[in-house]
Amino acid sequence: EEDLRKQVAELASEYVLAERLPLNAQELEEFSGELFDEMTGLGPIEPLLKDPTIADILINTHEQVYVERFGQLELTPVRFKDEPHLLRILNKIVANVGRRVDESQPMVDARLEDGSRVNAIIRPLTVDGPLISIRKFSKKPFNLEKLVEMGSCRPQICELLSAAVRARMSLIVSGGTGSGKTTMLNALSTSISHKERLITIEDAAELQLQQPHIGRLETRPPNIEGNGEVKQRDLVKNALRMRPDRIILGEVRGEEAFDMLQAMNTGHEGSMATIHANNPRDAITRLENMVGMAGTNMSEGSVRSQIASAVRIVVQLSRLSDGKRCLTSVSEITGMEGEIIQMQEIFKFVRIGTDADGKIEGEFRATGVRPKFLDEIKSHGIEIPSEYFDPKDPL
């Protein structure tokens, strides 16, 4: 890369001399840098992609680029030359993953080489020009210790969740948009044994699992004639034939929920998924609705008993109003009582107030409920101290 950069710099300085452009040394360096980014990378946004403090890049037409830093949005001086320039960069992104974006298919999900997730929508669905959202991916995969360091969780909660993953308990990570669901899934997956075979299923591959034995599957949108679409449900069915120990679903958002529950109930315990919901009870209700999408004529009661026997733990995440991402609840599904799924909260985040800088203050507390699955964890040779569940003091 350095040799190429040098060659571009030489060509740029030759061009500047030939055209007699009045550029000083710093401007010439910037010009050759921009030229290099345009040729090998994604043009004007390349420096933003390299900046580790940026979490999201939001391009609102060629004239405006916002970034999210530390949970807050800010406008950057980055601009594209014109709309065709922005579309050229966008086509470069989507062509890399074998997708396309044009008037007949104006919405697209893609990913960058580093795993960052890209969503784009262009005219005629946008009024003023292309809108592109890039969710950047951390170069260093998160583990549970890192989440504790950032204040998103407490060691006691992480220890319990890690033990539950090792004891092969199926769990769902629930949360709103940008609340850190994929990050939490990545962190939890570090507790999975390296002897297991994992199959991951996503719309745009972004999970960064650390195990040696992984098969990564990705959905495919329909082609220009509307054929060839491969949905998550097809991939879940196929994954069951691939001898997985666990199936990890990037996000459940439709009929594949039924097949996922079947997998969790038929020897693929310890499987995990994320779901969009604002609290654990909502997550279960959404799951019920999604199973209904699969067109199976199951009664409400049998759908609920499927969920109750498949899913053991719901981890709830939230993005607080100050931009911080935080674990707000860990709940256990204990079974059915009549037609109702029974849940009990084990840990929760209690908001206390807001400090002078607008940062939210709060503490993590146990609810005093001892999880029913502790005996199961114990049978795997893992001891969890009982004082973790004492509600008297914050964790």
Q: How do residues 80-110 score in pLDDT, each as one tens digit?
A: 889 998 998 898 888 887 788 888 889 988 8
* Residue 151, number of CB atoms within 10 A of its CB: 12
**Are 67 and 30 spatial neighbours (Cβ–Cβ below 8 Å)?**
no
pLDDT above 70 (res 1): no
What pLDDT digit, counting tens, does each position of 24-74 carry? 777 777 777 777 766 677 888 888 888 888 989 999 999 999 999 887 889
Q: What is the pTM of this model?
A: 0.81
Q: What is the dihedral of CA 301, 305, 306, 308, to 10 degrees?
A: 140
* Residue 356, number of CB atoms within 10 A of its CB: 5
* Residue 170, number of CB atoms within 10 A of its CB: 25
Span 182-201, mean pLDDT?
Answer: 92
Kindly give the residue spans of alpha helices, DSSP state H, lying in the chain: 2-19, 25-40, 46-50, 83-96, 144-149, 155-166, 181-189, 232-239, 256-265, 280-293, 300-310, 374-379
Residues of the chain with CATH 3.30.450.90: 41-135
Q: What integer pLDDT is reported at residue 238 of this predicted model?
A: 93
Q: What integer pLDDT is reported at residue 295 of this predicted model?
A: 82
Higher per-residue confidence, 395 vs 153:
153
- d(CA 65, CA 59) in angstroms, rounded, equals 5
Q: What integer pLDDT is reported at residue 323 of this predicted model?
A: 81
**Are 183 and 206 spatial neighbours (Cβ–Cβ below 8 Å)?**
no
Spell out the residues 6+ positions from residue 209 whose beta carbon is closer than 8 angstroms to its own: 186, 189, 192, 198, 200, 248
Q: Does domain 144-389 have CATH number 3.40.190.10?
A: no
Higher per-residue confidence, 302 vs 96:
302
Spell out the residues 6+ positions from residue 370 whose beta carbon is closer than 8 angstroms to its own: 386, 389
Q: What integer pLDDT is reported at residue 247 of this predicted model?
A: 93
- d(CA 314, CA 184) in angstroms, rounded, equals 12
Q: How many residues does the chain have?
A: 395
- d(CA 191, CA 34) in angstroms, rounded, equals 42
% of the chain beyond a pLDDT of 90: 48
Block residue for tokens 């769902």: 172
Span 225-231, mean pLDDT?
Answer: 85
Residues of the chain with CATH 3.40.50.300: 144-389
Q: Does domain 41-135 have CATH number 3.30.450.90?
A: yes
Confidence band of 192 (pLDDT split at 50, 70, 90) = very high
- Please state, in angstroms and as integers, the Cα–Cα distance from residue 375 to each residue in 164, 246, 274, following that order: 11, 22, 26
pLDDT above 80 (res 280): yes
β-bridge pairing 214-218 and 198-202: parallel
Q: What integer pLDDT is reported at residue 360 of this predicted model?
A: 87
Confidence band of 134 (pLDDT split at 50, 70, 90) = very high
- Please state, in angstroms and as integers, the Cα–Cα distance from residue 5 to each residue in 34, 37, 77, 155, 266, following that order: 11, 9, 24, 46, 54
Span 201-215, mean pLDDT?
Answer: 85
DSSP 163-212: HHHHTT--EEEEE-TTSSHHHHHHHHHTTS-TTS-EEEEESS-------S
Block residue for tokens 């256990």: 332
Span 285-297, mean pLDDT?
Answer: 89
Confidence band of 287 (pLDDT split at 50, 70, 90) = very high
